[in-house]
Structure 1
Amino acid sequence: MTERIPYVVVGAGAMGLATTWQLARRGHRVVALERFERGHTRGASHGATRNFNNAYAAAHYLDLLTLARTEWDELSRVTGEPLLRLHGLVTHGDDAVVAGVHDALVARGERAEVLAAPDAARRWSGMRFTGDALFTPEAGVVRAAAALEALERGARRHAADVRFGHRVVALDEGGDGVTLTVEAGDERHDLVAETVVVTAGAWSRGILPPSFPLPRLTVTEESPAHFTPIAADPVWPSFNHLLPPERYPANVYGMPTPGEGVKVGFHLVGPVVDPDARSFRPVPAQAAQLRGYVAEWFPGLDPDSAEPISCTYTSTDSQDFILDRRGRIVVGAGFSGHGFKFTPAVGAVLADLATDDTARAAAPFRLL
């Protein structure tokens, strides 16, 4: 017999689990289907930490970040798991951007301080600065692995059904619902949902119907690395380094990760890949560039200590997220590279879209 369910979430990484939690805590019956096993490393949600980076000037991201902070705190209260570590964020490398972000944050009542390069170097001796540095103390990291566990626990506490090892192989919208064909082990069965939320990351295009107006999503394999601090006592903030394109392949981000070192990575430089046929290894030339960057800019790190990490980015051309609905299908996509910090807020927006067909996300997140 075909199972009928009000809400089905396809993809139970960070965004899918957040949407499942938000739907379940509102009293809705929801099933989340995840193709892989719990804690897998094939997508973009694994790993110990992500930057909780508030260095944005655009209102739609700052609005989403405000909601995210509230929802992270709520999830922490519900599960008893502290999920944010707010040791502060330093953004530097482009004085005009630093000033613009500072002004946008201060206008919203956020704490933000601009330091001259010598003052920044004295405060963070493991880093080198040549221009102004913006310090935002109410930023830091999200404990990413702990967040996934908390979201799943929170969702299950409200009777959500999260099914790992369940792959959606077909999705067809009809007049009375959306039919999903699901493979689990050696068996195949159908579910019919009133509304489906697709949060499948790199696999989104392959799941959605061909007619769905999804913009181009580019999947890349990125290879940041953890580097070992030379001294045991330097203070490490999270950081954004805005770099000149004539010298470096991209801007740099990073954060301290207890027990693993300091994570450093170029943003969006990896090769385009098939998510089912990745090497899980860094491109040698890019690894060499990253080593050279660390040697130049981080006197507090051993540049020869790199422990590479492999993850995917799934990005729109604009690098803005997709949060929208067509018919009975809601889509959340294009988060990779800067989405994790917004996770519970994205879940709230997608839950709004799923339960209210008049709801709308901010204009830059909508489908054309």
Structure 2
Amino acid sequence: MSTPPIAIIGAGLAGAATAWQLARRGRDVVLLERGTPANDFGSSHGSARILRYTYPDPFYTGLMVRARRGWDDLEDLVGERLITPTGSLDYGANRDPAALADVLAGFDVPHELLSAGEATARWSGLTFDGPVLWHADAGVIDAESAVKAMVGLAVAAGAELRQDWTAARVLRQGDDHLVESEAGDIVRASHVVVAAGGWLPALLGTLGLPRETLDAFPALEVRQEQALHFPYRDPEAAWPTFINKRADIQVYGLPGGRDADFRGQKVAEYNGGRVIGSALEHDRIIDPVRRDRLVAYVEKALPGLVPEPYAETTCLFTNAPADEFIIDRAGGVTILSPCSGHGAKFAPLLGDLTARLVTGEDAGVARFRPLAALAGA
């Protein structure tokens, strides 16, 4: 009797990357998606996510150096550009550009630490009141195209994609697991990877995990975030991505790509959205108070943009404590939650790390394994 496939719940960036990495290793994989890959009810839709190397913690910068090699590999395999180079700016009293520059220097990532005047001379569409860090290797990830590319590679390597298949629960049956859909369909799996993003809090208690595992699982916070697109005053100006952390507000922005018809900057407040229980409560309604707060910021801080949004969207942040990722397993179930609002840029590497954990190639990254002590790993 043949070994059942590895079932992956969720076909966003994390699930697609894991399916690709497992399938390229010759593993049988079935990818289960409640809608379609990179649909707009999750965290991986659209064409604009920031790729950057700047972290105050050198661990994540080192991880990004490794992840970029995975992106290069993916682009080579599909023959498609998934990352548009833009460079990135970090500034603001709570961002500490000098400390970030020291971290980049430790990994030989090219960068410049500029005065406010020097930065203003180069990027007149933004305002600065202190040091500014520039690193040219940053860019914008086309998230939707990346998901489709990785799913395509996984399917080409033998994986099966089942769309409109909503996982409802996981049952243990002998050495295997049964994944049951809301419609009553069953998939028998040798191992289950849960990459459900904002759906995870609602799904966690249905995975057949022991009570002690559920009790030890880190508390997750799901936020319904919103981003507005503002038109460029000068359509020919080259805009970078940016992160501005001040005492009163934390904002990020990036060229909007297809999401903004290539004519505007996507701007959002980091963790500025309302807290919801799970993706089940994602209503995609823009909060007018938060909209006005962001418009006021753009009017004062981004003079190169017309402070009148012409498009708007919502998405989900699934935050774990300390903004960490979770890649851990309990028996035959692996939970992959590389979110906390900054997971997209690591997708190919996180798929590789998850595949290694699932197949037993290694024990996984210790700081991503909050359940490891229970398992004795």
Q: What is the TM-score normalised by the length of structure 2?
A: 0.90
Alignment of 1:280-295 (within 5 A): 280-295=284-299
Q: Distance in 1 between matches of 2:141 and 2:95?
A: 27
SS of the residue corresponding to residue 7 of structure 2 reads: strand
Alignment of 1:243-254 (within 5 A): 243-244=246-247, 247-248=248-249, 251-254=250-253
Match of 1:331 among 332, 335, 342: 335
Letter aligned with residue 333 of structure 1: S
Q: Distance in 1 between matches of 2:106 and 2:58?
A: 11
In the TM superposition, what whole-angstrom CA distance separates every residue of 1:220-266 from its partner, at most 9, and x where no partner exists?
1111111101112222111110111xx33xx1111112324101100
SS of the residue corresponding to residue 165 of structure 1 reads: coil
Structure 2 partner of 1:308: 312
Structure 2 partner of 1:269: 272
Structure 1 partner of 2:69: 70
Structure 1 partner of 2:128: 129
Residue 33 in structure 1 maps to residue 20 in structure 2: no
Letter aligned with residue 83 of structure 1: L
Cα offset for 1:192?
A: 2.1
Cα offset for 1:59?
A: 3.0
Structure 2 partner of 1:200: 196
In the TM superposition, what whole-angstrom CA distance separates every residue of 1:282-338 from its partner, at most 9, and x where no partner exists?
211111110000001101001123422111111113211111111111111150411
Decide whether aligned partners of structure 1 residues 334 and 23 sit closer, same or farther in structure 2, where only a CA change above 3 A counts: closer
Letter aligned with residue 285 of structure 1: V
Cα offset for 1:174?
A: 4.5
Q: Distance in 2 between matches of 1:23 and 1:32?
A: 11
Cα offset for 1:3?
A: 9.8
Letter aligned with residue 100 of structure 1: A
Structure 1 partner of 2:153: 154
| The structure with more helix, counted as a fraction of residues | 2
SS of the residue corresponding to residue 242 of structure 2 reads: strand
Decide whether aligned partners of structure 1 residues 334 and 293 sit closer, same or farther in structure 2, where only a CA change above 3 A counts: same
Q: Distance in 1 between matches of 2:174 and 2:111?
A: 52
Letter aligned with residue 218 of structure 1: E
Alignment of 1:1-368 (within 5 A): 5-94=4-93, 97-183=96-182, 187-207=183-203, 208-209=207-208, 211=211, 212-213=213-214, 214-244=217-247, 247-248=248-249, 251-258=250-257, 259-260=261-262, 261-273=264-276, 274-356=278-360, 358-361=362-365, 363-368=366-371
Asked if 2 retains the 8 angstrom alpha-carbon contact of 1:198 and 1:329, the reply is yes
Asked if 1 retains the 8 angstrom alpha-carbon contact of 2:299 and 2:307, the reply is yes
Decide whether aligned partners of structure 1 residues 71 and 334 sit closer, same or farther in structure 2, where only a CA change above 3 A counts: closer
Letter aligned with residue 27 of structure 1: G
Q: Distance in 2 between matches of 1:325 and 1:95?
A: 35
Letter aligned with residue 184 of structure 2: R
Asked if 2 retains the 8 angstrom alpha-carbon contact of 1:3 and 1:191, the reply is no
Q: Distance in 1 between matches of 2:328 and 2:13?
A: 18
- Runs ≥4 in structure 1, deviation > 4 angstroms? none
Asked if 1 retains the 8 angstrom alpha-carbon contact of 2:19 and 2:154, the reply is yes
Q: Please, which moves more after superposition, 334-343 or 205-214?
A: 205-214
SS of the residue corresponding to residue 128 of structure 2 reads: coil
SS of the residue corresponding to residue 43 of structure 2 reads: coil
- Identity, in percent, stands at 33
In the TM superposition, what whole-angstrom CA distance separates every residue of 1:198-227 from its partner, at most 9, and x where no partner exists?
100111133333534321111111111111
Q: Distance in 2 between matches of 1:308 and 1:204?
A: 25
Asked if 2 retains the 8 angstrom alpha-carbon contact of 1:124 and 1:234, the reply is no
- For the aligned residue pairs, the C-alpha RMSD in angstroms reads 1.9
Cα offset for 1:191?
A: 2.1
Unaligned runs of 5+ in 1: none
Asked if 2 retains the 8 angstrom alpha-carbon contact of 1:225 and 1:264, the reply is yes
Q: Distance in 1 between matches of 2:188 and 2:231?
A: 50
How many positions carry a matched residue from both structures? Answer: 359
Q: What is the TM-score normalised by the length of structure 1?
A: 0.93
